[in-house]
Structure 1
Amino acid sequence: MSGVMHAPLMGIFLTAELTGGYDLFLPLLIVSTISYGTIKFFEPYSIYTMRLARRGELLTHHKDKAVLTLLKIGSVIETDFVSVRPEMNLQDMVKAISQSTRNLFPVVSKEGQLIGVVLLDEIRNIMFRPDLYKRMFVNEFMSIPPARVEVDDSMEKVMKAFDDTGAWNLPVVEDGRYVGFVSKSKIFNSYRRVLRHYSED
């Protein structure tokens, strides 16, 4: 009980109460303490919380982690991006830019696989040069995203990817297929909203 349930006091008092052996209180105390300490070293969660913890759904007293647990990646994915193909020329790219309100364009294959991204800031110096419209292609000026986020990743893992890369937007994929993007700003807005609700409760 002390080890499996992470309940050493319950193990001590319940055993003493059921057996009436309060003379054995000290040995019970020693055994329960050793049992609890040993299992806690190898398994930080009890049998009741182990599955939740492994799925990343365990609410703890650590408020930041608890709030991130409540956030799901599906609620912060943005899909209003105009995708382009690697074989498109610069003229096609300029048309795509005129149809978008974003400065980021996913490069997607015919099968829907994410190949790279085009950042508007990186092609400003060539997008107003008509002489290059037919000569340059997307696969020449696209870049590889610093990281990819899987659609079933936990929010804690997503935030780690942002911290590791320093990126502001990261693409979301499912088995390599483009799904959308997640941005720090949308995650922070959702975080504040959930934190406010969490604090009120």
Structure 2
Amino acid sequence: MTGSTNVSFVSRLDAWRQRHVSDRELVLVLAFMVGFLASLAAYVLHVIIHEIKELITSGFQVATINWLYLLYPVIGIWLTSLFVKYVVRDNISHGITRVLYAISTKQSRLKGHNTWSSIVASAITIGFGGSVGAEAPIVLTGSAIGSNLGKIFHLDNRTLMLLVGCGATAAVSGIFKAPIAGLVFTLEILMVDLTMASLLPILLSSVTATCFSYFFTGGSAMYDFKMDYLWSLERVPPTILLGIGCGFLSLYFMRLMSWCENGYGKLSKYPYLKLLTGGVVLSSLIFLFPSLYGEGYDNLGLFIEGKTLTDWMQVMSGSMFAGQTKYLVLYVGLVMMTKVFATSATNGAGGCGGTFAPSLFIGGFGGFFFARLWNIEQLGVYIPEKNFTLYGMAAVMAAV
């Protein structure tokens, strides 16, 4: 009875809309709704991740190793697998992959559960230590919101594709409070056609998501970056060298990620073996290098906002390297090289998350590693570690 009542209400709403609201006006209204709902989804996801992490790691020691790092990631992946298998009962996949598939089939139709399932699955995975990002699940969620709102009003496939683009734009804009970044992401990654008819809805959803993100989380940026060192021509050679190094680093990340995921894919017939293999790899790496826990944005903040060796040393907190200054560069280099194994193990074993944050993480650690090593060896002009951390993030993300 309730189902028929809902169908009747939707039918009456659609009939009223066709009489009083044009398709162009409807798209603008839906773009606004998509922007609001996507920003709300991003806020809810990050709150859940933060609360889970605080709940299970609040008592961890900073100066000594924590044995529970060996247990939590496995629990998180196992709970995520149970959620997907018994609640969702569908393949969630990597978020952006699912969106690209929906667009490439010219249907742009995403399932209803995609509006919430990725939020729950990725929150469990990342909250318990999964070394992946939350951006791809939010992009999938925002795109699914746009697709399903369009299906309610029986819009054509071309308009559905536009609303999917609005959702992806709103997701990226809401996460980083960067409306232009959301627009560029949609145009470059999803390749939604840029016409005057599509530009206005995409911009509307982008700005809406950004405004509501400011409302939900305040006006502060993700990092409190201050330009302490002005650009000089003397720093051009090391900057070029960093770019070349980040190019090779991105190839290492992409090719090794594909190789690892293919390896875990061969274990699909043995789910418990796949969970055990990926769980052991992930938990062992996080135990050795706690910086690999979760998205890793906090650790990047230590390099971007920190100015002294004391600030940077916090990145080794909770590890066997804690407090040992001479091992900072070694630790950063090892974390940079093992992040890809942690990310692939998380998704390969049954977790849910994306590779956007890991690419930023690897790039940031690579930039700091390069700058710190350059300054220690005194190879020439001093290069600021915080600036080169940002350069590395931009370079690897662009290349990936």
Greater length-normalized contact order (CA 8 Å, ≥ 6 residues apart): 2
The answer to which structure has the higher helix fraction is 2
Whose radius of gyration is greater, 1 or 2?
Answer: 1
Q: Same fold (TM over 0.5)?
A: no
Instruction: Give the TM-score taking structure 1 as reference length.
Output: 0.28
